[in-house]
């Protein structure tokens, strides 16, 4: 058995390096960790095995004693300009909301932007709703990260599955392919 590691926050039965427990994350997430070439080592990403019924942010944070300001959400946005539709991932702390109508729409140069429907987000990412993560998204998608997330020593985010979450340095997310750190992405 792989030894459990200590987490920087929360109350979990066990934690492991995500690269050593690919069965606990979505397939696209595991593939992204295997192919990782960023400056922050892939081994800095931890995974915790949790109850999928408690995956939603408020319930999760209460159950596992995780501060809301240490939890980040990844939402998928659909942006339209003419007939062209672009998808993007937006990552913000759970204590804030992504500014889709102004910050995201303007940054993507879209006429209209909105949260992608659940069915679309799941189909396009290959991940489970309630667990979508920026690790392992389609290569051509922009990943917009609020500066507060990138500046966080550690954040908790989805693993691509409802069961399990990742804990990683905020700066790790800023090193993802197509990642852009934006001031005031969320408020």
- Arithmetic mean of pLDDT, 111-121: 96
57-80: pLDDT as tens digits: 999 999 999 999 999 999 999 999
Residue written as token pair 């940054």? 107
Beta strands 143-146; 112-115: pairing state: unpaired
**Residues 133 and 157: beta-carbon distance below 8 Å:** yes
3 vs 106: CA distance, rounded Å: 46
Closest CA to 85 of 54, 62, 116: 116
SS3 annotation, 114-126: EECCHHHHHHHHC
pLDDT reported for residue 4: 81
- Arithmetic mean of pLDDT, 73-99: 96
**Residues 112 and 80: beta-carbon distance below 8 Å:** yes
Q: What percentage of the chain reaches a pLDDT higher than 70?
A: 98
Average pLDDT value over all residues in the chain: 95
pTM as predicted: 0.95
Report the 10 Å Cβ neighbour count for 160: 27
pLDDT band at 2 (very low <50, low <70, confident <90, very high): low
DSSP string, 51-73: -GGG-SHHHHHHHHT--GGGBEE
Q: What percentage of the chain reaches a pLDDT higher than 90?
A: 97
179 vs 83: CA distance, rounded Å: 25
Looking at the predicted structure, is the pLDDT value of residue 1 above 50? no
| Residues in a beta bridge with 102 | none
54 alpha-carbon distance from chain centroid? 17
């Amino acid at each position: 058995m792989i030894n459990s590691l200590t987490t920087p926050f929360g109350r979990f039965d066990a934690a492991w390096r995500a690269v050593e427990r690919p069965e606990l994350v979505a397939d696209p997430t595991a593939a992204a960790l295997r192919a990782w070439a960023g400056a922050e080592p892939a081994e800095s990403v931890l995974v915790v095995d949790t109850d999928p019924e408690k995956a939603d942010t408020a319930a999760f944070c209460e159950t596992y004693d995780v501060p809301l300001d240490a939890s980040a959400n990844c939402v998928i946005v659909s942006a339209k300009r003419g007939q062209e539709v672009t998808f993007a991932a937006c990552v913000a702390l759970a204590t804030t909301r992504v500014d889709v109508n102004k910050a995201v729409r303007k940054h993507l140069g879209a006429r209209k932007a909105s949260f992608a429907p659940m069915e679309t987000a799941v189909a396009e990412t290959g991940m489970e709703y309630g667990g979508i993560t920026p690790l392992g998204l389609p290569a051509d998608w922009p990943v917009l990260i609020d500066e507060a997330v990138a500046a966080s020593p550690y954040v908790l985010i989805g693993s691509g599955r409802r069961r399990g979450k990742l804990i990683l340095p905020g700066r790790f997310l800023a090193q993802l392919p197509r990642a852009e750190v934006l001031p005031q992405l969320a408020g």
